[in-house]
Every structure is written in structure tokens, then in C-alpha cells.
Amino acid sequence: MRLECGAGIANRRKMRSTASSVALLLLLLLAAEALTITTFNILAPVHRSMDLRNTRESEREDWWRPRAEGVADYISRKFASSDVVLLQEWWFDEQFTSVFNAELGDAFEMVAERRPGTDGKMRDDGMCCLINKGGQLELVKSGNVLTGPQRIAQIVQCREKCSSGGGGRDVFIANSHLSYPGDEDPVVNDQRQAAEASIILDALSKASSTWDTSHHEERLEVVCGDFNSNSKSLAASLVESPPNSFVNCVSATADRNLANIGGQVNIGTTHCDHRGLKVSVDHIFLRLARRREQKSRDDRNKRSKRNRCAALSLGYLDTKGTRILSVRRGNIQLEGSMVLSDHRPITAKIAWPRTSVPKERLPSMYINATLPLDPLEPAWGIIDD
């Protein structure tokens, strides 16, 4: 009897070891095919004050050019493997643009959207999207939506490059920059930012349903950028809550065990503002959407609430292996005369396989899960429309 028990224990250990090896192999395969998305507020020279008289960096080329060259070089070195780089506070100066074209033009395709001003004039800055020419995506279309007076979000449609037969899946991205919380009443700030986020979400949904699409069943939708507020804000909670049900990538990385909307999921300091406050305001949210028969909102909300906690602890968004593998913050200096920007970039790596993981292998992907999860149950991150 003891020998049989010992053999049983040995067999179980062997099975666990094999399952762990399979899970590790699956993760490595997913990482190799992962999409990489970066968001970075580069601090437009027209917004950087150089002295107590509020002289702007943009007024002197010997001020703005060294930093612009440094930012372009930093992007070239650090984000060469990013499929998409979303930039806020892009300066539409011709010489500034030429600096980035010279450094990044061979590697990235650039598309930018300019902010409107008053009296029909345009502001000096806006948003820019860099699409890696050697990456997994290609640019389809770019547009913008007005989110407030002289403020926009950039809506970008990309599509997978597909060497085999069949069309690539679409990726819709909202490059966002919410307003600064400058009102004395924090409620006013929260409500204004939430209203802006709502406009962005509506514009993203409209684009994904009305722009020319690949007609593939599945698409990825991303909302990212400078929210000027942390993960517990009303705007972030709106993005995460049903029926929107986007995922804060930081909270859904595989090594975290967070289980509530609007929880403490900050990645650390990402911005030092003009008052010297160090805050966490740069975010990447995403969700999967599928073209299926419309289900009732009540059913969708119930499913989201039921599955959200379990999925968060593992980083999965569906049962075929779509997973937020990692989120990293660039560790650049935020203060002093030699700063590249007053924001730090955030990069998320997302495994988005085209084929399903065999069902018999699914349990091994959930080894050591601390929260219950039925591996065959649709995860909370899928939106049916």
C-alpha cells in the first residue's frame, strides 16, 4: 500500500511538472506573437515653461531641439519592438517634425491629429500615432473626436498584417488626453473627465462599427494615454465598468491579484506636474469585441461581474489565450533641466493568438490560480456586439 501511495505521489508530481512545462511553453509562444503598445506624453515645447516669466521652450530652437532629438532617440532605442506608439502633446512645428522623421521615419509610419483652436485657427499641438513598419500592424485610418473646447482624442484603426489567407483582425485605438483637473472642486474635475471619457468611448465604438473593417469576427479595442487622473478616478472607473468593460492592463497582468474596479492598480509615478506633484495618470485599457448577435445589456453586465475577479488574477481575456503578459513603465527622469518629458512612457504586451488553445491544455494555463475560474467559461473581457 505504501509503495502504491508513493508511486501515486510521484505520478502526480510528474503530471504537475509536465503541466507546468506546457504552460510555460504556451506563455513563451504567446509572448513571441504578442502585440506591444506604448503610450507616451512627450511634453510639447509650447507647453514647457523655462523660467518664472513663463517663457516657453518653443521660443528658442537651442532649447527645444536637444530635447526633441533626445525624445526621438529614446523612442528609437526603447520602443523599436513596439507595434504602436501613441504620443500626446505632439508639436506641429515643421522643424520639430523633421527631427522625428529623420530619426524614426525609416522604422515608423506617422499619422497625427491637430487640436482645434479659436476663431477657426488650429492649436500648435495634438496627438500622433507611430505604427512600426516592421511590426504586426498596418495603418488603415486616423481621425479625431472633439472631447472639449480645443481638446481632442485621436481614433486610429490598424489591421494585422496577414501573410496567410484571410484578412487580418482590426485594432481600434483611442489616443487620449483628458483635461487637467484645474478646478478647485474635485467633483467638477471628475465629472468633466468622465464626460470626456464617455465621448471617447462612444467615438471608438462608432468607428469600430462604421469604418471600413476586415469583417473578421474579432477585434481589439484600446483606450490609452494621459488621463490626468489615477486608476481610481471617475473616468477610469467609467472605462472599466459595464457595459464598457475595458481592462486596466496594469491590474490584469499575470503576476497581480487585484479583483475590483477602480482598485489600487497604479504602476507608480508616471508624471510630475507643474506644481511638483508626482502622480500616476498614464494608462492603457483594452477589451476584445466580437461581431455577434446583440445580447441584452443586463446579461452582459451579469457575466462581467461574475467572471471579472477570476480573470483579473490571471490576466486572461478569453479562453483561447488572449492575455496581458506585462506592463512596464519607462524610468526616465521627471525633473531638472535635462528631462526628456514630465511623463514616463507605459508599454503593455498583449498575447492575442489567432487560434484557440486546445481544451485539454487549458487547465495547465491556470496552475496555482488563487481565485476560482472555469477555463471553459467565457471571460469577462469579451464584448459581444
pLDDT on residue 374: 33
Q: What is the rounded CA–CA span in Å between residue 36 and residue 85?
A: 9
Q: Which three cell numbers stand for residue 174?
A: 483611442
Is the entire prediction scored with pTM above 0.75?
yes
pLDDT on residue 316: 75
- For residue 40, give Cα distances in angstroms to 87, 241, 334: 5, 25, 13
The full DSSP string for 180-209 is P--SSSHHHHHHHHHHHHHHHHHHHHHHHH
Q: Which amino acid is at 136?
A: Q
pLDDT on residue 13: 60
Q: Over the stretch 70-106, which tens digit does the pLDDT of each residue have?
A: 999 999 999 999 999 999 999 999 999 999 999 999 9
Residue 49: how many CA atoms within 13 Å on its side-chain side?
7
Q: What is the rounded CA–CA span in Å between residue 383 and residue 245?
A: 8
Taking 70 as the pLDDT cut, the residues of the chain under it are 1-32, 163-166, 252-266, 292-315, 355-385
pLDDT on residue 192: 97
Contact of 37 with 84, CB cutoff 8 Å: yes
Q: What is the rounded CA–CA span in Å between residue 104 and residue 82?
A: 13
Q: What is the rounded CA–CA span in Å between residue 209 and residue 197?
A: 19
Residues 111-116: contacts with CB under 8 Å, at least 24 apart: 111/139, 111/142, 111/156, 112/154, 113/142, 113/143, 113/144, 113/152, 113/154, 115/150, 115/151, 115/152, 116/146, 116/150, 116/152
